[in-house]
Amino acid sequence: MSEHVRVISIGQPKVRNAIDSKTAQRLHDQFVAFDYDDQARVAVLTGDAEAFCAGANLKDLPRLRDSGPLGPTRLALSKPVIAAIEGWCVAGGMELAAWCDLRVAGDSARFGCLERRWGVPLVDGGTYRLPRIMGLGRALDLILTGRELDGAEAERMGFVDRLVPAGTALAAATELAEHIAAQPWRCVVSDRRAVFDGLGLDQAEALANEDRLGREVILSDEFAAGVARFGEHQRERQA
């Protein structure tokens, strides 16, 4: 694995990676450190073979905090995060996965807003992010019913981006992270920022912001190098 990819583990396997106060603080701090590390480009968040995350640990509820009860879910990072999901990804764990840019899941993974069954509200961004990921109707189906779904349905609904054989999610997510990290980096983070900025803007403002950010990239050495590579590629094809 290259220095550009950072794997962050929830690290609570005895409780299906349910997150307590100490774990929430550690995850918050690790993602802040990742965002400030110039060498790190893409993070992979993982649980273990049995569970990605079962939500909050009810024996030690993480405190409500500016960065989100489960740790990082109110952080707006400048770089991508990929969730590597095996086993249970439910309740706050599903909200934590929704905070990530992309979700790679083993085909035996299980999903759902199961906190609905116990009268626990969504407080880690699920009501905001799930409709934007899978659409309003599908998000409400999960939020209102608290029903459980398998990996295949989660992929059909648009929550899971890549469904892979059980036990291979971390390897597949790391491979995807390496691929993204190898792309022209200034362009990657600029386009990503344009996407997230645009979610809070009307169409005219979003297009103007995209244009501004794109022009900054076009004026960079990275863009000039990319144009030169493209020209060389074309000449090789024509030879």
The rounded distance, in Å, linking the Cα atoms of 10 and 53 is 8
Token readout for 34 is 């990742």
Q: What is the CA radius of gyration of the chain?
A: 19
In the chain, how long is the greatest CA-to-CA distance? 68
115 is known as an active-site residue: yes
Q: Please, are residues 39 and 4 in contact by the beta-carbon 8 Å criterion?
A: yes
Q: Could you tell me which residues come within 8 angstroms of residue 113 by beta carbon, excluding any fewer than 6 positions away?
A: 90, 91, 94, 122, 126, 142, 143, 146
Catalytic option among 3, 50, 86, 115: 115
Q: Please, are residues 213 and 194 in contact by the beta-carbon 8 Å criterion?
A: yes
Catalytic option among 50, 86, 95, 175: 95
Query: Would you give the DSSP letter of residue 14?
Result: G
For residues 32-67, one letter each, b for 16 or more C-beta atoms within 10 angstroms of the residue's C-beta and e for the rest, the string is eebbeeeebbbbbbbbbeebbbbbbbeeeebeeeeb
236 is known as an active-site residue: no
The rounded distance, in Å, linking the Cα atoms of 153 and 149 is 6
The rounded distance, in Å, linking the Cα atoms of 186 and 184 is 6
The rounded distance, in Å, linking the Cα atoms of 160 and 151 is 7
* Catalytic residue numbers, as ranges: 95, 115
